[in-house]
Structure 1
Amino acid sequence: MLADHFPPLGLRLRTPRLELRLPSPEELAALADVAAQGVHAPETMPFVVPWTDAPPAEAARGVVQHHWAQLGAWTPEDWSLDLVVFHDGAPIGTQGLRGREAAVTREVSSGSWLGRRHQGHGLGTEMRAAVLHLAFDGLGMETAVTSAFEDNHASLAVSRKLGYRPDGLNRRVVRGAPVNDHRLRLTRADWERHRTVPVTVEGLAPCLPLMGLPAA
């Protein structure tokens, strides 16, 4: 099986409503269709790289290429696990977790997107909670970081709910204009205090060496 050669293909995270895992080619195509249908209101841009400004077909192709590129560039020192989020068996977005020298820093970062018609139902909180459980309980991390532009109220609300604290600002240029990018940090202690979503993890042990971590 392919997962014997690349164990993250066998990794599964499950919450009460969601499953997070790497997709089959057909599921990746369906995820691209979700992106083509819209991720945010046209007048806003929540991403540093404004990939959703592209025409729908180009944005969809970019989702496929980005997915392949991240897996192809994977090393134990610098890995990016872009899990597809499934709700009722269908892909609705992605939730990523990235580690750069994570075995040394004990820190990971996260990023995500959710199809616009799936927003507003608490799924963003649930999918972030899933990868935080993986980070802290599964990988033994000590901190997790993320960021969001000041007008991305939904993402900032998810971070507050999960226990993140402000960690400063970065100034970015998006669509030719300056924006404030709010950095946020979650410690293990704050994660423990705010965790409410039950999460199960399957298939993690064989993935650990690929993340630069000792085998269980």
Structure 2
Amino acid sequence: MKLTDYMPVYRLRLRTERLELRLPDLDDLVALADQAAAGVHDPDFMPFLTPWTECEPIERGRRTLQHQMSVIAGISPERWMLPLVTVLDGEIVGMQEVGAADVKATREAHTGSWLGRAHHGKGIGTEMRAAVLDFVFNGLGADYALSASFEGNGPSEGVSRKLGYKADGIDHKVLNGVRRQDNRWRLSREDWEAHRKHEVAIEGLDAEVLAALGLGESEE
């Protein structure tokens, strides 16, 4: 037996012009931890609700390893998150999450991501989000994709607007005792199609993978 026999979602690959996105094995997780340890954002702006980057580099890497392993272990048909590593020219440069709860009924999924700081400003964030959007709409047959970004996170907001998202209201979160405005974004299938610029190949999305993500055939 192989890993993909027990966890079919490991068969999934998303490919764009430059990138490959996949679930990480242990070696991939170490490479991802290295990117986290080197830094993922401007230290003057915290983009995450859980401030997991506020620690020494070795601890950032350790937190990355532990969190991603727990997320993968928690995948179920009812609620799942796929923490896909982003690979550019053979190097893991960041990660792109896509997740949903009761996706067969809601027909929507949400995304989140980060890149190593050395890879910012190269269009990678847009391209990797485009990859999972193709997966959400073409692969899963969803109607909407959701995202969110703290007020002042210009790069994340720029990616959302570039890909066709529309403002979907605000939430208020408390981070380190301070209220922060979290801007919600919603992308419809129609707006995604109108702004689609990247060709994406989805590999390994078979009936077993769909069933693992809550989209199996209903029993009569």
TM > 0.5 fold call: yes
Following TM superposition, where does structure 1 have runs of at least 4 consecutive aligned residues deviating by more than 2 angstroms?
none
Cα drift, residue 179 of structure 1: 1.1
Percent same amino acid at aligned positions? 49
Corresponding letter in the other structure for 2:116:
G
Residues 153-200 of structure 1: CA deviation (Å, up to 9, x unaligned):
000000000000000000111232111100000001101101010100
Cα drift, residue 23 of structure 1: 1.8
* Structure-2 separation of matches of 1:24 and 1:179: 35
Residues 30-53 of structure 1: CA deviation (Å, up to 9, x unaligned):
110100000011111000000011
Structure 2 match to 1:56: 57
Corresponding letter in the other structure for 2:191:
D
Residues 98-130 of structure 1: CA deviation (Å, up to 9, x unaligned):
111111000100000010110000000000000
Root-mean-square deviation (CA), in Å?
A: 0.8
Local SS of the residue matching 2:53? helix
* Structure-2 separation of matches of 1:193 and 1:208: 26
Residues 9-31 of structure 1: CA deviation (Å, up to 9, x unaligned):
11100000100001221121011
* Structure-1 separation of matches of 2:102 and 2:24: 25
More displaced 10-residue stretch of structure 1: 125-134 or 204-213 = 204-213
Corresponding letter in the other structure for 1:55:
E
* Structure-2 separation of matches of 1:174 and 1:121: 29
Structure 1 match to 2:202: 201
* Structure-2 separation of matches of 1:95 and 1:30: 15
* Structure-1 separation of matches of 2:12 and 2:116: 23
Structure 1 match to 2:77: 76
Local SS of the residue matching 1:84? strand
* Structure-2 separation of matches of 1:6 and 1:130: 21
Local SS of the residue matching 1:163? coil
* Structure-1 separation of matches of 2:24 and 2:140: 22
> TM-score w.r.t. structure 2 length?
0.96
Question: Following superposition of structure 1 onto structure 2, how do residues 119-138 of structure 1 map, counting pairs within 5 Å?
Answer: 119-138=120-139
Cα drift, residue 142 of structure 1: 0.4
* Structure-1 separation of matches of 2:173 and 2:100: 22
Structure 2 match to 1:183: 184
Question: Following superposition of structure 1 onto structure 2, how do residues 1-216 of structure 1 map, counting pairs within 5 Å?
Answer: 1-205=2-206, 206-214=208-216
> TM-score w.r.t. structure 1 length?
0.98
Local SS of the residue matching 1:16? coil
Structure 1 stretches of 5 or more lacking a match? none
* Structure-2 separation of matches of 1:90 and 1:7: 24
* Structure-2 separation of matches of 1:24 and 1:149: 30
Residues 44-79 of structure 1: CA deviation (Å, up to 9, x unaligned):
100000001121111111111111111111110100
* Structure-1 separation of matches of 2:84 and 2:27: 15
Structure 2 stretches of 5 or more lacking a match? none
